[in-house]
Amino acid sequence: MSQPVVELTGICTAFAGNFVHRDLNLRVEAGQIVGLLGGSGSGKTTLLREMLGLLRPTAGSVSLFGFNLNGSDALAQRAVRRRLGMLFQHGALFSALSVFDNIAFPLRELRCLDEDWIRRLVHLKLAMVEMEASHGKLMPAELSGGMVKRVALARALALEPELLLLDEPTSGLDPDRSQNFVDLVSGLQQALGLTVIMVTHDLNTLAGLASHVAVLADQRIIAFGPKDEVMSVDHPFVTGFFGADRRKLL
């Protein structure tokens, strides 16, 4: 097997003595689209933050592309971070910058693309997420919830990441848009061999997009594997989550 894109080993996370994760292991290979499931408060977002290096686990190690994020070399860390894109749950757009500048920001930070190139890329990303070019002038405060999400996705895609982390990508989108989102991500995945890890509660997104499913419960990953395998796992959370919709996923 080739090197895993994300490898979590023996992750323990504790907030003020309360364990959120205990000895958690997860290994995501290149090209997989992993849906991360779990009840609310089970530490899904925390796990994503640990993958990004925003939060240091109490114990255990996180490695991205075979590189340990807790290492100290700032330049190497930046190089790794440029290979991933993150869509935050609430968008986390820079509120002082317009939509155009938000998407252009990571591109400008590279300091080697000219403005024409950046302009085309930004408009390309805007078109990808079905925003009009004229929306580039708007400020984040003027956007609706769904638009914020789409702009945030465009920004996450700006650097053409190899690894895309999505926190609730389709919540707040209408069914039509979330279907388009599914098409967009799966198209990108085919063209670029993206690896995607997403936290979602939307069964349609999961059914349409995920190749693998990881279930976070009882402070660890209780099941990880191809969608249909995981669904047949006999665990109260899994049966409860899929419940009557079990057939829809297949």
Residues lying near other proteins in the complex (CB under 8 A) are found at 3, 65, 82-83, 94-96, 110, 112-113, 116-117, 119-121, 123-125, 127-128, 133, 137, 139-141, 159-160, 162, 187, 190-193
Other Cβ atoms within 10 Å of 69 Cβ, number:
19
Query: Smallest distance, Å, CB 226 to other proteins?
Result: 24
Query: Smallest distance, Å, CB 171 to other proteins?
Result: 18
Query: Smallest distance, Å, CB 91 to other proteins?
Result: 13
Q: Which residues, listed in sequence order, are joined to residue 86 by a DSSP beta bridge?
A: 165
The three-class DSSP label of residue 53 is: coil
Nearer to other proteins, 54 or 110 (CB): 110
CB 35 within 8 A of CB 207: no
Q: How far is CA 209 from CA 69, 92, 183, in A?
A: 28, 24, 8
Nearer to other proteins, 61 or 190 (CB): 190
Strand order of the sheet with strand 84-87? Answer: 84-87, 163-167, 195-199, 33-38, 212-217, 220-226
Crossing angle of helices 115-128/99-109, nearest 10°? 130
- Give me 200's structure tokens: 């979602």
- Give me 216's structure tokens: 């976070």
Nearer to other proteins, 23 or 115 (CB): 115
Nearer to other proteins, 16 or 141 (CB): 141
Nearer to other proteins, 16 or 112 (CB): 112
Torsion of CA 55, 40, 142, 158, to 10 degrees: 50
Nearer to other proteins, 59 or 127 (CB): 127
Query: Smallest distance, Å, CB 21 to other proteins?
Result: 28
Query: Smallest distance, Å, CB 133 to other proteins?
Result: 5
Sign, Cα dihedral of 79, 83, 89, 93: positive
Nearer to other proteins, 2 or 40 (CB): 2
Backbone angles phi, psi at 144, to 5 degrees: -80, 170
Query: Smallest distance, Å, CB 33 to other proteins?
Result: 17
How many helical (H) and strand (E) elements, i.e. helices and strands, does the chain have? 10, 10
